Amino acid sequence: MSLWAGGRFTDGPDDVLWRFTADPIDRRLLHVDVLGSIAHVSMLGEQGLIDTDDAATLADGLRQIEVEAVEGTFAFHDSDEDVHTAVERRLGELVGDIAGKLHTARSRNDQVALDLRLYLIRATKRNIDGLLGLIDALVSKAEEAGDIVVPSYTHLQQAQAVPLAHHLLAYAWMLVRDGSRFTDAVSRIGISPLGAGASGGSSLGIDPSATAAALGMNASFSNSMDAVASRDVAAEFVWCCSQAMIHLSRLSEDLILWASSEFGWVTFGDAFTTGSSAMPQKKNPDIAELARGRAATVIGDLTTILTLQKGLPMTYNRDLQEDKRPVFHADDTLSGSLEALTGLIGSAEFHPPAPDAWVTALDLAEVLVERGVPFREAHHVVGKIVSSLSADGATFADLDGAALVAFDQRFHPDDISRVDPIASVTHRVSPGGASMESVEGQIAALRQLLAGADPGRQSDNAV
């Protein structure tokens, strides 16, 4: 039954219209819809817009519906146009005609905008927790990695010697920023649109700041038209999900490469890899491949939610019903990817081979720089050594102190110790660089953040 039946309409809705316009996807908003309604009827009672007995009866009925929502026993009907209609219908079944007072000084336009924001606040917190879980797994693996040294890569060519832990922690810091982006977004998401009505507010003396406070939100809207028309906070949420998925996709790409026999850096647990139906030897990193693939679908969600708003006249338009699918999909995809990658990383055993000897070339050049040789010249000297050794099929590993000095008198025989990748890491002193001290400091900072120093975990106590 539609909410508009019996007024100006003599005909009921055609089946075609119903099939096209009613979309059960918003059933996911059931719980937050009820919470918003409880806050609304309490405010109506306090403002004397309905009498306090009626407000209490409505709130009792809504709390019963909340229980049904939480327990999963709430029964939707095909004839419920949307989640808001379903709740009002069910409230009527529970408390009778008085349910008709629920929608006093409210429209589905401000109601759905509120529901979406309440959903986004929860989803934001859940994803911050998911991010922290994966950060924790990366930090634990960094601790386990100890003094394992690997090459860093630029252009997918071996570059400098770095602790494996430093590489793993690079991802942890990306995820920290993803978490803080969600935290920042909550300051904007947490503005309540309830009380904006259909678009212009109400002639009844409602108190939007009271409902905002009851719902634990930061504040209420300043402009009713903006409140019902805008979905930028939903787009911001999907953007936060997209950037996090891009980071997960890059992590996944590394994990996939590292698991190849060509790299041979890592073995994942059987429980987190898949076999092949045809090739008995295969152990595939499907979790990482799917996280990488699904990043594309979340970028699609971002395109959808942005494009949805483009060209809409003020204020609410039914197009906005389409905001839910990209929000829910981006949320589910990020949450699922975080959970699966946390498991995959947790199961990882790292056993990378030693880097190529050349990863210490820059260290050798920096030895000369310490002796006052201009860097450009030092680069040239070491480049010549690399070229000469390569021509003979040799590497730094075949060089001794005397041969090094023979290349350039400004070297000392002891400098040969600097061509060792471990020595390279040991001599690294620049702040934030790939040294063991830096890694220890990063682990301590990240552990502190995981212990609760992250504002994203504490900022908001909205329902």
* Residue numbers annotated as active site: 155, 276
Contacts 24+ apart (CB under 8 A), 72-76: 74/30, 76/24, 76/27
Q: Which is nearer to ligand ARG, 139 or 320 (CB)?
A: 320
Stretch 12-51 residues interacting with ligand ARG (CB under 6 A): 26
What would the x/- binding string for ligand ARG be over residues 91 to 130, using CB under 6 A? -----------------xx--x------------------
- Between 320 and 462, CB nearer to ligand ARG: 320
**Per the structure block, which two tokens stand in for 431?**
């702040």
Residue 320 in the binding site for ligand ARG (CB under 6 A)? yes
Complex with ligand ARG: residue 32 or 244, whichever CB lies closer: 32
The least distance separating ligand ARG from the CB of residue 139, rounded to whole angstroms, comes to 41
Q: Residue 410 in contact with residue 368, Cβ under 8 Å?
A: yes
CB closer to ligand ARG out of 29 and 245: 29
Nearer to ligand ARG, 109 or 249 (CB): 109
Give the Cα separation of 142 and 260 in Å (integer): 21
Q: Which two tokens stand for residue 408?
A: 């350039």
E-strand stretches of 126-228: 149-154, 157-163, 191-192, 219-220
Nearer to ligand ARG, 114 or 266 (CB): 114
Of the CA atoms within 13 Å of residue 107, those in its CB half-sphere come to: 19
Helices 286-309, 232-259: inter-axial angle, 10-degree rounding: 160
Shortest Å distance, C-beta 324 to ligand ARG: 7
Residue 250: how many other CB atoms lie within 10 Å: 15
Stretch touching ligand ARG by CB under 6 A, among 127-135, 318-326, 369-377, 417-425: 318-326
Nearer to ligand ARG, 74 or 358 (CB): 74
How near is the Cβ of 25 to ligand ARG at its closest, in Å? Answer: 9
Q: Shortest gap between Cβ of 317 and ligand ARG (angstroms)?
A: 9
Footprint of ligand ARG on 68-97 (CB under 6 A)? 82
Select the residue interacting with ligand ARG from 152, 180, 321, 395 (CB under 6 A): 321
Burial (0-12, 13-18, 19+ Cβ within 10 Å), 114? buried
Q: Report how far apart, in Å, the C-alpha atoms of 192 and of each of 171, 189, 270, 313, 352 are.
A: 35, 8, 47, 22, 52
Number of residues written out for the chain: 463
Give backbone dihedrals phi and psi of 356, rounded to 5 degrees, phi first.
Answer: -60, 150
Kind of pairing, strands 219-220 and 266-267? unpaired
Size of the site for ligand ARG (CB under 6 A): 9
Task: Give the nearest distance from C-beta 304 to ligand ARG in angstroms.
Answer: 15
Residue 225: other Cβ atoms inside 10 A:
15
26 vs 254, beta carbon nearer ligand ARG: 26
Place of tokens 């009921």: 12
What Å distances lie between residue 112 and 23, 230, 297, CA to CA? 13, 11, 25
CA distance 427 to 312: 59
Specify the DSSP element, H or E, that contains 229: helix 224-229
Closest by alpha carbon to 207, among 39, 322, 324, 319? 39
CB of 229 to ligand ARG, least distance (A): 12
Q: How many contiguous H segments (helices) and E segments (strands) does the chain have?
A: 17, 6
**Type of residue at 12:** G
57 binds ligand ARG (CB under 6 A): no
DSSP state of 314: S
What residue ranges bind ligand ARG (CB under 6 A)? Answer: 26, 82, 108-109, 112, 316, 318, 320-321
